[in-house]
Structure 1
């Protein structure tokens, strides 16, 4: 998530930067206090909540004056990694 926040900060008008910075701060605090599955699942939910649906982070287009903002070339890959990492924090329960 740290890499994602750095990339998003290249766009001073990005509405999503603050959300991911808050999630990153929460993750860092959890790491210092010790990990509790309930807290990890809640963090996962907050991260994943902005992916999908109309007007979501998935719709974010880092363009200025019709051109991709320099440094944003890897945004899709980085955001995909963040989503996958958030998903891996969740407990899915035992299979029968």
Structure 2
């Protein structure tokens, strides 16, 4: 589970960075979801890790990616201009998605 702990730490770092970026847009409704996921991830560090909890966290994080009306459609514009500091949003959200995906276990059948 040491690898899982390192992966969880990575997700926490990436979620924290994304939440900081999203805080630049006071009208962003997605920030609440990612802050909630960040709190869930931080709470997991206080207990022995189990895969079911990690999978649930991963699913929660990833649930807002993809499809119409998803976080992927979020555009950080205000008054017709990109909000300052949001240039790294795509990269930051991609890192969150990848970190959440890494927590999942896919069973391999023989």
Scaled by the length of structure 2, what TM-score is found? Answer: 0.85
Mapped to 2, the partners of 1:28 and 1:35 lie a distance apart of: 12
Unpaired stretches in structure 2, ≥5 consecutive residues: 1-14
Partner of 1:94: 108
Aligned residues: 96
- What is residue 20 of structure 1 aligned with on the other side? 34
Q: Give RMSD over aligned pairs.
A: 0.7
User: Deviations 1:41-79 (Å, cap 9, x if unpaired)?
Assistant: 000000000000110000000000111000101000000
Q: Secondary structure at the match of 2:49?
A: coil
TM-score normalized by structure 1? 0.97
Give the gaps of 5 or more residues in structure 1.
none
Which of the pair is proportionally richer in helix? 2
1:32 equivalent in structure 2: 46
Counterparts of residues 36-75 of structure 1 (less than 5 Å): 36-75=50-89
What whole-Å deviation, never above 9, does each CA across 1:7-64 have from its counterpart, x for those lacking one? 0010000010000000000000001112110000000000000000110000000000
Distance in 2, Cα, partners of 1:95 & 1:81? 28
Distance 1:64 1:46 in 2: 28
